[in-house]
Amino acid sequence: MFCYQCEQTAKGGCTKIGVCGKTDSTATLQDLLLHLTKGLAQVAVAARGQGIEDNEVNRFISEAVFSTLTNVNFDDARFVTLINKCVSLREGLKTKVSGVEFGGPAVMAPALDIPGLVAQGKAVGVESDPEPDPDIKSLKHTLTYGLKGVAAYMDHAAILGREDDELYAKFQGLLAATLATGLTLEQAVEAGLECGRINIRAMELLDDANTSAYGHPVPTEVKLGPTAGKAILVSGHDLKDLETLLKQTEGKGINVYTHGEMLPCHGYPELHKYPHLAGHYGTAWQNQKKEFAEFPGAILMTTNCIQDPKKYIDNIFTTGLVGWPGAVHVGNDDFTPVIERALAMPGFEADIDKGSVMTGFARNAVMSVADTVINAVKSGDIRHFFLVGGCDGAKPGRNYYTEFVEQAPADTVILTLACGKFRFFDKQLGDIGGIPRLLDVGQCNDAYSAVQIALALAKAFDCGVNDLPLSLVLSWYEQKAVAILLSLLALGIKNIKLGPSLPSFITPNVLNLLVENYNIAPITTPEADLAEILG
């Protein structure tokens, strides 16, 4: 195996087993699925050229690509099913296309067993890319990883009924383009920026899907301590799964808790209305082995990030695209096994007061107090905004973000999103004239909301986003962060500070290009970065 798609990759790439726990066979089956899905995208592009749009193919391509995102699916058997479905959809679609000669992954026949599929996967992995120029290869891999992020957003939006054929067309065109060789540097850069642009559309669709189904988030206090009684913990990112579970647990005497990236769900009126949505438990994904082992109820993983659950394998359930071998997968929206497990477990013995946090400061909530914010900036009460957001992770160096927030002066406001917030989410930072200094915009999936807030501020101040008293201090881990970074670049946003380490798939020349055109810089120390930004 060779995988270097995430921030915690081993030095030079994961080659024997992933730091994430991904085995050689899973990584290789993922490579094969991705390769075959690129072939399916080629056929879908050709079909579209002849006026044929196949929604089952469109949905499948998003699901297959999302399945290969870090910490989503570790189950070889599920990848075999996906590989066979990919080929079956491809062959079905081909029968409707006339006069096109396909090759490569568009004609490849899958082997009949896992060893055979793994052998095929070895021949089409990351290192097999025939691209001779390391910088073009770097940009192509950046594009591939960015597309994994876009696929995640498209899939979440589609689950709530929001799809866009034009977006599918652009996505599949870019996915097929990752097979091309001979791209110029300019073409490879442009493909990356186009990925950023289509990601904005995907995030917009998802924002519309979430807010149409559950209302615009409103500032909401969320209890951190448990309530006595039976319990289910929901992790991942999927709002619909949470709603379905809340409906199915109504009147059953079970309290439902959010974990990790599900925290912002409390801000949505149509989810908050359930009285048994009892609070939030735990912190970011990398702490789950300890937190889940101590949870006295059932656990439902709706999306990334899942870690090896063997210590509590009987208590954890996966749904949607998530998989772990040996964990029960609920694939039909009937969470009865989860509910039965929760009822059989002891639950929490007593109420425990652990305080509370605020969430729900998404674009509508922030814009509803735009006048107050603008006046506070004009009067000098607010000197600067920081967006300190992105993924959390296990590698050392991420304390930077905690210290950055702690050291940010009292006349600055911190906007945050994604699971990186758990480094500081419960800090009492006070307020500036009634505006809380710490504003949780939402999940990584809500980056669109943060972008809209920045664009609205720029409009209000009649300047560009780069001229605002706003600095982006981002942490990355997986491929949704790659997609978001490409979106920010496509919007022309400069001076981003990125950490805790830079992507392994970025070559020195590509990094230089980013520095020259966008002034991206790696994080240094909170003291130095704050002094530079505010100086």
When CB distances are held under 5 to 8 angstroms depending on the partner's kind, the choice from ligand SF4, ligand FS2, none that residue 18 binds is ligand SF4
Cβ proximity of 345 and 315 under 8 Å: yes
Strands 356-359 and 497-499: unpaired
Amino acid letter, residue 25: S
Is 463 annotated as contributing to ligand binding? Answer: no
Residues 189/240, Cβ–Cβ less than 8 Å? no
Whether the ω angle into residue 305 lies within 30 degrees of 0, i.e. cis, is yes
Residues near 98 by beta carbon (within 8 Å), at least 6 away in sequence: 50
**Could you say whether residue 28 binds ligand SF4 (CB under 6 A)?**
no
Residue 305 in contact with ligand FS2, rule: CB under 6 A: yes
Q: Is 529 helix (H, G, I), strand (E, B) or coil?
A: helix
288 touching ligand SF4, by CB under 6 A: no
Out of ligand FS2, ligand SF4, none, what residue 4 binds, judged by CB under 5 to 8 A for its kind, is ligand SF4
265 is an annotated ligand-binding site residue: no
9 near ligand SF4, judged by CB under 6 A: yes
Q: Does 307 bind ligand SF4 (CB under 6 A)?
A: no
Q: Is 286 in the site for ligand SF4 (CB under 6 A)?
A: no
260 interacts with ligand FS2 by CB under 6 A = yes
Give which of ligand FS2, ligand SF4, none residue 304 binds (C-beta under 5 to 8 Å, depending on kind).
ligand FS2
CB of 321 to ligand SF4, least distance (A): 15
Nearest by Cα to 335 from 307, 304, 300: 300
Q: Residues 477, 486, 493, 513: which binds ligand FS2 (CB under 6 A)?
A: 477
302 interacts with ligand SF4 by CB under 6 A: no
Contact 415, 354 (CB under 8 A): no
Question: From ligand FS2, ligand SF4, none, which one binds at residue 258 (CB under 5 to 8 Å depending on kind)?
Answer: none
State both tokens at 175.
């996915």
Element (H, E) at 387: strand 384-390
- Smallest separation, CB 14 to ligand SF4 (Å): 3
Using the minimum distance from each CB to ligand SF4, give the nearer residue, 9 or 62: 9
Q: CA-based Rg of the chain, rounded to a whole angstrom?
A: 23
Residue 304 in the binding site for ligand FS2 (CB under 6 A) = yes
Residue written as token pair 């081993």: 10
- Shortest Å distance, C-beta 447 to ligand FS2: 10
d(CA 254, CA 234): 13
Query: Residue 392 or residue 529: which is nearer to ligand SF4 going by CB?
Result: 392
- Tell me the β-bridge partners of 471: 386
Measured CA to CA, the distance from residue 397 to residue 406 in angstroms comes to 15
SS3 342: helix
- Does position 4 interact with ligand SF4 (CB under 6 A)? The reply is yes
- How many residues touch ligand FS2 under the rule CB under 6 A: the total is 16
Q: Is 3 annotated as a binding residue?
A: yes
**Is residue 6 at the binding interface for ligand SF4, with CB under 6 A as the rule?**
yes
Are the CB atoms for 415 and 363 separated by under 8 Å?
no
Q: Please tell me whether 478 is known to bind a ligand.
A: yes
Amino acid at 452: Q
Query: What are the residues binding ligand FS2 (CB under 6 A)?
Result: 71, 237, 260-261, 285, 304-305, 391-392, 418-419, 443-444, 477-478, 480
Query: What are the residues binding ligand SF4 (CB under 6 A)?
Result: 3-6, 8-9, 14, 18-20, 22, 27, 70
